[in-house]
Amino acid sequence: MVVRDLRKLFRSARFAEVVRYLIAGTAITLAAHAVYLLALSGGIEPHPAWAVSFVFGTVIGYLIHRGFVFRVKARRRHWVSFPLAYGLRFSIGQGLLALLLALDMSAGWAGFVTNVAMAPIGFLLLKTVLRERAAVNGDGALDGGKKGAS
Does residue 140 sit within a domain?
Answer: no
Instruction: Provide the 10 A C-beta neighbour count for residue 110.
Output: 22
Does residue 149 sit within a domain?
Answer: no
The pLDDT of residue 19 is 86
Segment among 4-8, 17-21, 83-87 with least mean pLDDT: 4-8
The pLDDT of residue 1 is 64
Does residue 139 sit within a domain?
Answer: no
What confidence tens digit (pLDDT) does each residue in 70-91 have? 777 777 777 777 778 878 888 9
Does residue 144 sit within a domain?
Answer: no
What confidence tens digit (pLDDT) does each residue in 87-140 have? 888 899 999 999 999 999 999 999 999 988 887 887 787 777 776 544 333 433
Does residue 88 sit within a domain?
Answer: yes
Does residue 145 sit within a domain?
Answer: no
- Domain count for the chain: 1
Does residue 148 sit within a domain?
Answer: no
Q: What is the mean pLDDT of the chain?
A: 79
Rounded CA gap, 59 and 143, in Å? 30
Task: State yes or no: pLDDT of 44 exceeds 90.
Answer: yes
Structural domain containing residue 45: 16-130
Does residue 137 sit within a domain?
Answer: no
Reported pTM: 0.66
